[in-house]
Amino acid sequence: MIAMGIVGTNAYLADRWNWLDCFIVFAGVAEYCLPSADNVNLSAIRTIRVLRPLRAINRIPSMRILVMLLLDTLPMLGNVLLLCFFVFFIFGIIGVQLWAGTLRQRCFIQPPPNVTA
């Protein structure tokens, strides 16, 4: 980072992915340095570390093609999911109507009888 420079055309912070890396590193350092007794909870920022592998999308061209294809098919997947929801909803209503009350009072343990002598 020091050899590349911080600001400029070919600098470290010229790439947006490096901004994400820099933010994650500084958040980790802040979490380590700040005492935990001050109600400072930066654990939510740790979840952003999951985004680091997304840099591979720019580095590997075939990965970029796959991601673009997935993003292009999302509208069609929405229609399929809507159809699946409709089918499950209809079969749910049919199942509730057909088996309504069939298992009533069958799924519990009988208490022992009260024996008095």
Per-residue model confidence as pLDDT tens digits over 51-102: 777 777 777 888 889 888 988 998 888 889 999 999 999 999 999 999 887 7
Q: Up-side HSE of residue 56: CA atoms within 13 Å toward CB?
A: 8
| 7-18 exposure pattern, b = at least 16 Cβ within 10 A, e = fewer | eeeeebeeeeee
Q: Which residue has the higher pLDDT, 83 or 34?
A: 83
pLDDT of 41: 64
Average pLDDT, the chain: 79
> What is the pLDDT confidence band of residue 15, given thresholds at 50, 70 and 90?
confident
Give residue limits of the domains in the chain.
1-59
Percentages of the chain per state (helix, strand, coil), in multiples of 5: 70, 0, 30
Q: Which residue has the higher pLDDT, 35 or 95?
A: 95
3-state SS, one letter per residue, for 76-105: HHHHHHHHHHHHHHHHHHHHHHHCCCCCCC
Look at the alpha carbons of 81, 87, 92, 93 in this order and tell me if their dihedral is positive or negative: positive
